[in-house]
Chains A and B, each alone.
Chain A
Amino acid sequence: MATRTIEASDLALLEAAASAVPDPELPVVTLGDLGIVRGVAVADDGAVEVRLTPTFVGCPATEVIAADVRAAVEARLVTLGGAGAGAGAGSGSGAGAGADTSGDAGSTGSAGAVADLAHVEVRTRMEMSPAWSTDWISDDGRRKLAEHGIAPPRGGRASGIVAVTIGRRAGLGEASPLAGASPQPPTPCPRCGSTSTRLISAFGSTPCQSLRACRACGEPFGAMKAL
């Protein structure tokens, strides 16, 4: 029966389901790769709450991401109920079959009360703090971005506030878009690997990308902004 407690081990599976959702703008990477999924827990009212963080505050993909995550977690809940019900039959399982959300918030914290898994409410919550940084993009995510023709963000940036140097960039942008105190080597071309690339504009096709071009192969490409 699909009616049982949501255990901590279930939450890990639900988080994995949320993390596996592809980014709607950059479908080659998952939300997990991007570091957007912050965690999954059962709220006091019995709902499953997925905490997400926006990359840019105004990113239009944010609402699509939330909807996709809800759908993925709801689907995973249904299969959880069907498969491993026996193993997870912990505290007072099977008692009130059909009871949707248990009003008496018995256990707080990570695991929840008895519920019909197919009818548990799934919510998403946007968490602004701590602020997302491109440092949170996984190595796997960086590799997939590069393979897709998008230069990954320059690694190793301390996640502090980036200072702007006042001075003209040769040819408007030889160095990184924000040439901070520690100049970084130029972004390599994801197509041919040449490091002779130039910044066309710090703003590109999505809020998180800038637009660059390769001098060697001539190909223009998007590059994730370091944030």
Chain B
Amino acid sequence: MTTPVAQYALQLGDDALILSQRLSEWCAHAPELEEDVALANLALDLLGQARTLLTYAGSLEGRGRSEDDLAFLRTEREFRNVLLVEQPNGDFAMTIARQLYFATYQYELYAALCESTDAELAGLAAKAVKEVAYHRDHAVQWTLRLGDGTEESRRRMQEGVDQLWPYTAELFEADAVALELAGSGAAVDPRTLRPAWEASVAEVIEAATLTMPSGDWQPRGGRAGKHTEAFGLLLGEMQALHRQFPGAAW
């Protein structure tokens, strides 16, 4: 039997882990060397957060599962990450759009989670919010540069924010776990993060001379383990080594 805090830590840990995996795919493929380094650094920060959160989730659920067990030996339906983080990288502008949406969300989330009544979550949040501030700055700078850049870069940046916009609704959806824990002050009610997130994103998009996306289609299901098609391929690659060589270590 798993506890609500374990489930919550798993949700946040899976978000960080899957986005880390996606960003790692850019390694040696980024537009320039500095971006290779930058994207790998973002991935590394997220991996560190994921390791802490998954280790904590594993310790709470009482089944003796380690961070590696949780990362490499769960099946697709057992992952609790939001759909946004598993979306394919697309071109560089698409990746930046995903970063803008998610880093802004994660920044607001961790800033609020610093006040959590759960000491472990509060401790991680206080540490991670400083790292994520840099992630958000990175996304903001590129959004401005691409949006207010050439005709082609602007077209691509607009396409990026438009295509990923539907997946942002799920970030602020109050599932049972978050709601229960928000009552006790351990978690943040995701709905409360939306106003600050939207104001911040809108300001960047406007400054980048882009148009704020809209629309009613709001795919969801990640928190319940229902993922999009691309997720299976991501997991296959991420887990292949550990499944073929159980316990493999560097």
Give the bracket for the number of chain B residues in contact with chain A: 35 or more
The count of chain A contact residues (Cβ–Cβ below 8 Å) is 34
| B20 nearest in chain A by CB position | A58
Tell whether A224 is near chain B: CB-to-CB under 8 Å.
no
Judge whether B133 and A161 touch: CB under 8 Å: yes
A200 to B32, CA, bound (A): 12
Judge whether B136 and A203 touch: CB under 8 Å: no
Judge whether B37 and A201 touch: CB under 8 Å: yes
Judge whether B41 and A207 touch: CB under 8 Å: yes
Query: For A57, what are the chain B residues with a Cβ–Cβ distance below 8 Å?
Result: 45, 48-49, 51-52, 124, 127-128, 131
Of B64-72, B82-90, B137-145, the segment with at least 4 beta carbons within 8 Å of chain A is: B137-145
Q: Do A168 and B148 contact each other (CB < 8 Å), given the known contacts A57-B127, A207-B41?
A: yes
A164 to B129, CA, bound (A): 12
Question: Which secondary structure dominates chain A's binding surface?
Answer: loop
Tell whether A202 is near chain B: CB-to-CB under 8 Å.
yes
Tell whether A92 is near chain B: CB-to-CB under 8 Å.
no
Judge whether A177 and B41 touch: CB under 8 Å: no
> A-facing mask of B19-54, CB < 8 A → 1, else 0?
000000000000000110110111011111101100
Judge whether B52 and A128 touch: CB under 8 Å: yes
Query: For B127, what are the chain A residues with a Cβ–Cβ distance below 8 Å?
Result: 54, 57, 128-129, 131-132
Measuring CB to CB, which residues of chain A are less than 8 angstroms from any residue of chain B? 54, 56-60, 127-133, 161-164, 166-169, 172, 177-178, 200-205, 207, 211, 225, 227
Measuring CB to CB, which residues of chain B are less than 8 angstroms from any residue of chain A? 34-35, 37-38, 40-42, 44-49, 51-52, 111, 119-120, 122-124, 126-131, 133-134, 136-138, 140-141, 144-145, 148, 200, 203-204, 207
